[in-house]
Structure 1
Amino acid sequence: NDVFDYQRGADAADRVGPLRVTQAGLLTPAQVLRGMWIIFALSLIPGLYLAARGGWPVVAIGVSAIAAAILYTGGPLPYGYKGLGEIFVFVFFGVVAVSGTYYVQTGTLTWLAISASIPIGLLTSAILGVNNLRDIGPDRAAGKITLAVRLGMRGARIEYLLLLGLAFAAPPALFAAGLASAWVMLAWLSVPLAERQARIIVTQSGAALNNALAGTALLTFVFSLLFAAGLTVQ
C-alpha cells in the first residue's frame, strides 16, 4: 500500500495520515517492494507448518491472502480503489483469521468459530473505515473511490457506527443462540472505549481522525481479548 498509493498519487505531500516511508522519501519504491517480498518469503516458514497441519485448504487461504494484500492497491484493478476494501478486510481479517486459526488447531470448523469471526471482521473493517473517512478528500481528488468516497462524509460516519453496533450485537446474539455462555458479554466492558471513538467520528474530520484510527485499533484488541475470554468459559 505504501508504494502503490504513492505511485497512484493517493499519498501526496499533503497526506493527513501517519507517515509513510515512500511518500516521505525515506525509502525508494524499489526498496519497499523488496521488503514486501522478503516478508512474504519469511511468512512461508510458519506457512509450511500450517499447511502440513491443515492441508490444501490452508494453502489456498494463504495464496488468496497474499494476492488480496497485493491487489488491494496494486495491479491493474486495485479493489481498494473500487470501494471494496471493507469487504476484503472483513473476510481476511475476520472470517479467515478466526475460523482459519480454529480449523488449523482442531481440524474442524464449527458454527461458533464462524460466528465468533464476524464481530472481529466488523471491527477490523471499522479501522479501514476510519482511515478512508479521514482521507475522503485526498482520495476523491486522486481518483481512489473508496467506500467512504462513495457514501460521502455522513454516510461513512453511519457506516462506522453500524459496524461497531453490529459487532457489539454479536455477544448477546451468541448467548441467545445457545452458542456461548453469559460470560461472552465480557466483551461489552469495551463499550466505553467504543463510545469515545464514535464521538470522535461524528464530530471530527481530517487529521483529527488519526486519534480514532488508533482508538479503533485499540478497541478491536480489547474487544477481542474480552470476547475470547468470555467464549472460553462454559
Structure 2
Amino acid sequence: MASIFDWIAAARPKTLGAAIAPVVVGCALAAKISGKFDWSLALCTLGSCGALQIATNFFNDALDSLKGADTHARIGPRRITASGAASAKAVNIAAWLMLAVATLLALPLFEARGLPILFIGLPSLYFCFGYTGGPMPLAYRGLGELFVILFFGFVAVTGAAFVQTGEWYEAAVVAGFQIGCLSTVLIAINNLRDVEEDRQTGKKTLAVRLGVGFARVEIVTLVLAAHAAGVYWFQQGWPRAFTLPLITLPIGLFVAWRVIIEPPSRGHNRLLAMSGAQLLAFAGLMCWAIVKAKDVMP
C-alpha cells in the first residue's frame, strides 16, 4: 500500500515550480500595471494551476505504466504505479480528484472574468489527461514541449494577469515565453534522461525522434532564449526585469554544460532539480524587479 510519501513523490514536487512561477509572474505584472491586486483570485489561480499540474503528473504516472513506458529499467525517480505501490486505478482516481479540485478553485475565476476562463480552462483540463492519454497523447507524439511552453508559459502567465484585471497584456506574453522556456527545460531534461527507455517502449518524444544531440541543443537554446527575451524589458524601461533574473543564468549554464558532457543517466535527476530551482528563482527575481520598478510600463 502506498504511503503518504509515495503520493507526495508521485505529485513530483520538483516540477511544481512550472505551476507556481507563471501565476506569480502574471499576478505581479497585473498588479504593477493596473495598481490592483486581488489575493483571493490570486490564491484560487495558484491552487487551480497547482492541482492541474499534479493531475497531469498522476495521469502520466498511471498511463505510462499501463502502456509499458515505465519499466523496472527506469533511471528516473520511482513511479508509484510502475513500482506496484499503488494501482493504476487508484492513481487515475487521484488524478480525477485533482481535476475536480482545479475546477472548484476555478469557479471564482469564472465568476470574475466570464467566458475567457472557460476557453482557457477546458483545454487545460483535457490536456492534463491528453498529455499521456486519449486518442493522440502529446507525450507520445513529440508534442510535450509544445504543450508545456503553451500552457505553462503563455496561457498561465497571460491568464493569471487577465484574472486580476480583465485585460490582456503584451508584457505578459513576453514573460510567458520566458517562463515557458524554463519550464520546458524540465520536460526536455526528463526526455533526454529517459531516451533509451522511451525508444524501447515506443514513446516518441523529441529526444527519441530527433536524437540525443537535438535534445541537448534544445535545452541550451531554451535556457538562453529565456534570458535573451529579457531585452524586451530594457525597451520598456524596466531594465531590472532583465538584469536581476540574470543572477540565475549560471545555474542554467551549468545544467546546459552537464547535459552536453554527461550521457543520459540518473545524474540528470539532479539537473532536473536544479532547473526547477532556477525557474522559481528566475520568476521570483523577475517579480521583485517588476514590483520595484519606478514607473508603470507605458
Common fold by TM > 0.5: yes
Picking from 179, 203, 206, the partner of 1:147 is: 206
CA distance in 1, matches of 2:232, 2:161: 20
- Alpha-carbon contact 2:130-2:137 (below 8 Å) kept: yes
Return the offset for 1:114. Answer: 1.2
- Alpha-carbon contact 2:238-2:290 (below 8 Å) kept: yes
Matches within 5 A, 1:168-179: 168-176=227-235, 178=236
Report the more deviating stretch, 195-204 or 46-55: 195-204
Return the offset for 1:151. Answer: 1.8
CA distance in 2, matches of 1:19, 1:51: 37
Q: Which residue of 2 aligns with 1:165?
A: 224
Return the offset for 1:44. Answer: 2.0
Return the offset for 1:174. Answer: 2.7
Point out where structure 2 has 5 or more consecutive residues left out of the alignment.
1-59
Q: How many residues get paired?
A: 232
Return the offset for 1:103. Answer: 0.2
- Residues 43-92 of structure 1, C-alpha deviations (whole Å, 9 max, x = no match): 22211011111111101211110111101111122111111100010011
- Residues 127-180 of structure 1, C-alpha deviations (whole Å, 9 max, x = no match): 10000000000001111000111221111100000000100102123313x2x4
Return the offset for 1:104. Answer: 0.4
Tell whether 2:42 aligns with 1:15.
no
In structure 1, give the amino acid aligned to 2:192: L
Q: Which residue of 2 aligns with 1:52?
A: 111
In structure 1, give the amino acid aligned to 2:200: A
Q: Which residue of 2 aligns with 1:28?
A: 87
Q: Give 3-state SS (helix, strand or coil) of 2:184's partner.
A: helix
TM-score (norm 1): 0.96
- Residues 87-115 of structure 1, C-alpha deviations (whole Å, 9 max, x = no match): 01001100111100000001001111111
Report the more deviating stretch, 212-221 or 202-211: 202-211
In structure 2, give the amino acid aligned to 1:201: V
Q: Which residue of 1 aligns with 2:139?
A: 80
Which fold has the larger relative contact order, with Cα–Cα distance below 8 Å and residues 6 or more apart in sequence?
Answer: 2
Tell whether 2:177 aligns with 1:156.
no
CA distance in 2, matches of 1:168, 1:150: 27
Return the offset for 1:193. Answer: 1.3
Q: Which residue of 1 aligns with 2:261?
A: 203
Tell whether 2:122 aligns with 1:63.
yes
Moved over 2 A (4+): none
Tell whether 2:171 aligns with 1:118.
no
Q: Give 3-state SS (helix, strand or coil) of 1:206's partner.
A: coil
Point out where structure 1 has 5 or more consecutive residues left out of the alignment.
none
In structure 2, give the amino acid aligned to 1:202: I
Report the more deviating stretch, 167-176 or 19-28: 167-176
CA distance in 1, matches of 2:95, 2:140: 20
Report the more deviating stretch, 100-109 or 193-202: 193-202
Return the offset for 1:211. Answer: 0.8
CA distance in 2, matches of 1:42, 1:88: 21
Picking from 272, 280, 291, the partner of 1:221 is: 280
Tell whether 2:235 aligns with 1:183.
no
Q: Which residue of 1 aligns with 2:23?
A: none
Return the offset for 1:231. Answer: 2.1
In structure 2, give the amino acid aligned to 1:81: Y
